[in-house]
Amino acid sequence: MQFCPKMDTEDAFFIYVLESYKASKKLTGAQALAELKNTGAADFIKQNFGALHTMSIESILQDIDDFLQKKN
């Protein structure tokens, strides 16, 4: 059974990561999305879906933090 027939797996995964990132950083949804978009992390998540979706959320969030540190 597909939960949302118009949402593909990659979009659902991005939302899962976004919500997890939001909670871990104590941000609003708008703040978290803006931060991921403005830093290029949103593209990083989408481009690396193949590898990231097999990892724990803790590892994914660490990879995002590592990505952001390298950007700065």
- Helix segments in 26-56, DSSP class H: 29-39, 41-47, 49-52
pLDDT in tens, 58-70: 999 999 999 999 9
The full length of the chain comes to: 72
pLDDT in tens, 2-54: 555 677 889 999 999 999 999 999 999 999 999 999 999 999 999 999 999 99
pLDDT at 20: 98
pLDDT at 1: 44
Distance CA 26, CA 20 (A): 10
The structure's pTM equals 0.88
Instruction: Identify the CA nearest to 3 among candidates 16, 21, 20.
Output: 16
* C-alpha distances in Å from residue 4, one per residue of 7, 34, 53, 67: 6, 24, 18, 30
